[in-house]
Structure 1
Amino acid sequence: MSRLKGKKALITGGTTGIGLETAARFIAEGARVAVTGSNPANIEQARKALGPSALVFRADAGNVASQKDVAKTVGDAFGKLDAVFINAGVADFRPVEQWDEAGFDRSIAVNVKGPYFLVQALLSILNDPASIVLNTSINAHLGMPNSSVYAATKAALLSMAKTLSGELIGRGVRVNAISPGPIETPLYGKLGLGKSDLDAMTKSILGQIPAARFGKASEIADAVVFFASDESAFTVGSELVIDGGMSNL
């Protein structure tokens, strides 16, 4: 397993779920990995899980100034980067009438503004060639109730994959997107729902997935490894939907 041998990578939001699974896969494929997170307990657990091959540190995914700090930390440690997986995000689902400006601004900051300015901050340390993978969502394609703001942020990120591709390919930087459907991660436990409501939501979502199951974090990691590797050298501005057929209904 050496598809990423010698490569240096950054994964944001890499201390749990999809990010942590992808970091472990990157290391198994031969990469050196820097991982960001925001929860001190999760950061410590990720350090233990990933071992000495990973640089794990705290960062605020929604703060513009913090993105420059991330670039400096990674640049000081690795010099240059070959791959970036922008995975950090917040999933806030509410009916339209329950939204307030603070919540709206937080979703925009973490899911759109932070990623954009992280790309900007990383430009000086990206190798030629390099790969950026943006973690969007099938919600960018679905009219799912209570997802208006979340879906809007992911649609913006998906658009960014295309526009940044056109702008950065001349530097040798490829930008692509993955759009996962429902995945078995700690995300759903962070929605603030009671057990009965969470069970009802899970049952409802399963009924919309032709594959009749939630996806696995490892299945998303497989896609990110492909985009980060030289196997996808001719893949630019593309989106890979990984949702068990949910968006085809």
Structure 2
Amino acid sequence: MNQDFTDLIAIVTGGASGIGAAIAGRLKSGGARVAVFDLQPDGAPHADLAIAVDVADDASVRAAVERVAAEFGRIDIVVNNAGIGAQGTIEANADDEWHRVFDINVLGMVRVARAALPHLRRSPAAAIVNTSSIAATAGLPERALYSASKGAVAALTRAMAADHLRQGVRVNAVNPGTADTPWIGRLLASAPDPATERAALEARQPHGRLVSADEVAEAVAYLASPNAGSTTGVALAVDGGMQELRLRPAAH
């Protein structure tokens, strides 16, 4: 394994399970020391330091960031991966739910990055990677609120990249397609016909299957790596071609 991250300190939010755990594992295998922020950090599989953090609570975020800086002496990488899902058209969710999802999916990233920036500016290899989604670039049915939040993440990523490039901080996003994660597992389990629903989700992606968490983690590792020093303001799709490809229907 390429040791791109030796001696670097990384924070991964939502790092106790799913895509976040895969990201934490990939960074650690590359030599980083990893602090995991999660509502339920117990048992985070790849954490050198696991902290209970609510990204919707600014005091919780600031305290956790300062603990990482105090214990490790620096912060080099922030992966803003924590987020929640939402289903339905614009009629399905009340104002309170719109505020809640944006507070976690968008402002949660703002809080963590804002708290970490003073430390990142002192790093020789500072990088922020935000987890956006295919929902930011493709109109998916029954995902109005979630798509709006991830579209905001995509725009926020570009603005942050512009603001902080000359401070030595690169900012990028990763746009996973539908990934084989615990959240998708719960959605499938609640469907009337889970097998049919899974087949539909797989068929929607041109390569014909769900994206793996490890594939997303590899993309994040590239964006976070010091070797990607000329890559900033980018949203890297990991979606089996869903964003850009228009294949003819598969022959049966």
TM-score, normalisation: structure 2 = 0.91
- 2:107 is equivalent to residue 113 of structure 1: yes
**1:197, distance to aligned residue in structure 2 (A):** 4.5
- 2:89 is equivalent to residue 95 of structure 1: yes
Q: What is the count of residue pairs matched by the alignment?
A: 242
Native 8 Å contact 1:3 1:30 kept in 2: yes
- 2:6 is equivalent to residue 10 of structure 1: no
Alignment of 1:30-109 (within 5 A): 30-39=31-40, 43-46=41-44, 49-50=45-46, 54-109=48-103
Q: Pick the aligned partner of 2:182 from 173, 181, 186.
A: 186
**1:210, distance to aligned residue in structure 2 (A):** 1.0
Write the deviation string for residues 166-188 of structure 1: whole angstroms up to 9, x where unpaired.
11011100001110001111011
- 2:200 is equivalent to residue 204 of structure 1: yes
Alignment of 1:231-242 (within 5 A): 231-242=227-238
Write the deviation string for residues 143-179 of structure 1: whole angstroms up to 9, x where unpaired.
1111111111111111111111111011100001110
Alignment of 1:124-143 (within 5 A): 124-126=118-120, 127-143=123-139
The worse-fitting range, judged by mean Cα deviation, of 125-134 and 174-183 is: 125-134
- 2:16 is equivalent to residue 20 of structure 1: no
Native 8 Å contact 1:79 1:125 kept in 2: no
RMSD: 1.6
Q: Unpaired segments of 5 or more residues in structure 2?
A: 247-252
- Tell me how far apart the structure 2 counterparts of residues 148 and 200 of structure 1 sit (CA, whole Å): 23
Native 8 Å contact 2:55 2:111 kept in 1: no
- Higher share in helix: 1
- Tell me how far apart the structure 2 counterparts of residues 87 and 32 of structure 1 sit (CA, whole Å): 17
**1:239, distance to aligned residue in structure 2 (A):** 1.2
Q: Percent identity?
A: 32
SS for the counterpart of 1:156 is helix
- Tell me how far apart the structure 2 counterparts of residues 26 and 204 of structure 1 sit (CA, whole Å): 32
Native 8 Å contact 2:10 2:34 kept in 1: yes
Write the deviation string for residues 2-23 of structure 1: whole angstroms up to 9, x where unpaired.
1111111000000001110111
**1:192, distance to aligned residue in structure 2 (A):** 8.4
**1:244, distance to aligned residue in structure 2 (A):** 0.3
- Tell me how far apart the structure 1 counterparts of residues 52 and 193 of structure 2 sit (CA, whole Å): 32
Write the deviation string for residues 107-144 of structure 1: whole angstroms up to 9, x where unpaired.
00110011112111111111243000010001011111
Alignment of 1:207-218 (within 5 A): 207-218=203-214
- Tell me how far apart the structure 1 counterparts of residues 191 and 201 of structure 2 sit (CA, whole Å): 15
Partner of 2:152: 156
